[in-house]
Amino acid sequence: MNIPSNRDFCKSLPKIELHAHLNGSLSEKTLTELGSSPDDVAEYQRLQRTPPEGRNLSDCFKIFGFAHKATATPEAVYLATKNVIREFYDDNVIYLELRTTPREEVGIMTAESYVEAVVKAIQDNTYDILVKLILSINRQHSPELSKNNLDVILKLKEKYPNIIRGIDLSGDPHKGNFEDLKILFETARKNGLRTTLHCGEVKNDEEVSQILEFRPDRIGHAPFLHPNYGGCSKNWNLLRMLKIPTEICLTSNIISGTTKSYELHHIKEWIKHDLPFSLNTDDKGVFHTDLSQEFERALKYLHIKNEQILEISSNSVNHSFATQEEKNKLQEKLKEWVYTNCNF
């Protein structure tokens, strides 16, 4: 058998995406389709194509701003979601968990109609990719707004239990704190939602400890968790004991400056200690990446072997919020691909 290049291997591999924010995943094509001005699209392209070392967080927020502006009606949200799903499908992603915060635009869209538009796009998907939705609580929002959003989330979870599978904590890690929002996540969990929390995006040992003690189903990023990376031994030992799967987003961490380089990425400690993790894009539009490229970078910079990539994909299925039956089908698809394409 011919040994495929890393690029071909990663592109062809059926992939599992567990950490993708809807608004951060818009391509420039989608922005154009949504009626963004040529100037906005040109600026979006310029920022996307600036090498990581030439970009900073405020550039990333600027890109988010363009996406936010372009998705201010239910129709735009529907189209954006459909396009994002198709683009992940084109990258051979077979399972996608999209996440987004319920959003209101006064007089145009309620938090509920926003989520309904996303759900409708997922229902109307005809590509061979299974899509689930995680709804986010934004830590920048007031406790009242977050409580209202949770009410919407729980109501729509009852209506679409097989699509709305989880709840996420996201937003600017400098703002708000998990302890104030914990009650909302406890309520969500009691109501059958799975939980994933952005964790340790800035040094904050106390909050990381609170998050781990909550025992979410998964955590996101965790760049400041290991003691060699600004975290503390107590939290690292707790993670090692609980083995909570971590959603890793390599390029996102480099561009947003939480990690110095691919070679020095904190994931090396997860690999060394055999802790569970998945590879994800976070915001493929903002960071100008796709899941194939993230896998390719893992092969190149972290010296992961192709066999390990398959193991990461298979483990990601287990970490997902799909039903057991759906997980079995996804594992079958992976096995079939390995049988046809690999000789190891």
Residue ranges that bind Zn ion, judged by CB under 5 A: 282
Shortest Å distance, C-beta 148 to Zn ion: 22
Shortest Å distance, C-beta 324 to Zn ion: 26
> How far is residue 10 from each of residues 14, 137, 249, 268, 293, measured CA to CA in Å?
8, 32, 16, 20, 7
In angstroms, the CA 97 to CA 165 distance is 9
Coil, helix or strand for 342?
Answer: coil
- Report whether 67 contacts 38 (CB < 8 A): no
Query: Catalytic annotation on 201?
Result: yes
112 or 217: CB nearest Zn ion: 217
How many residues belong to the chain? 344
Instruction: Read off the tokens for 291.
Output: 């899941």
Shortest Å distance, C-beta 154 to Zn ion: 22
Q: Taking CB positions, which residue lies at the least distance from Zn ion?
A: 282
Shortest Å distance, C-beta 120 to Zn ion: 24
Task: Give the active site residue among 17, 28, 201, 269.
Answer: 201
Helices within 53-195 (DSSP H only): 57-70, 74-90, 111-123, 143-159, 178-190
In angstroms, the CA 215 to CA 32 distance is 41
In angstroms, the CA 322 to CA 330 distance is 10
Instruction: Read off the tokens for 294.
Output: 């993230």
Enzyme catalytic residues: 201
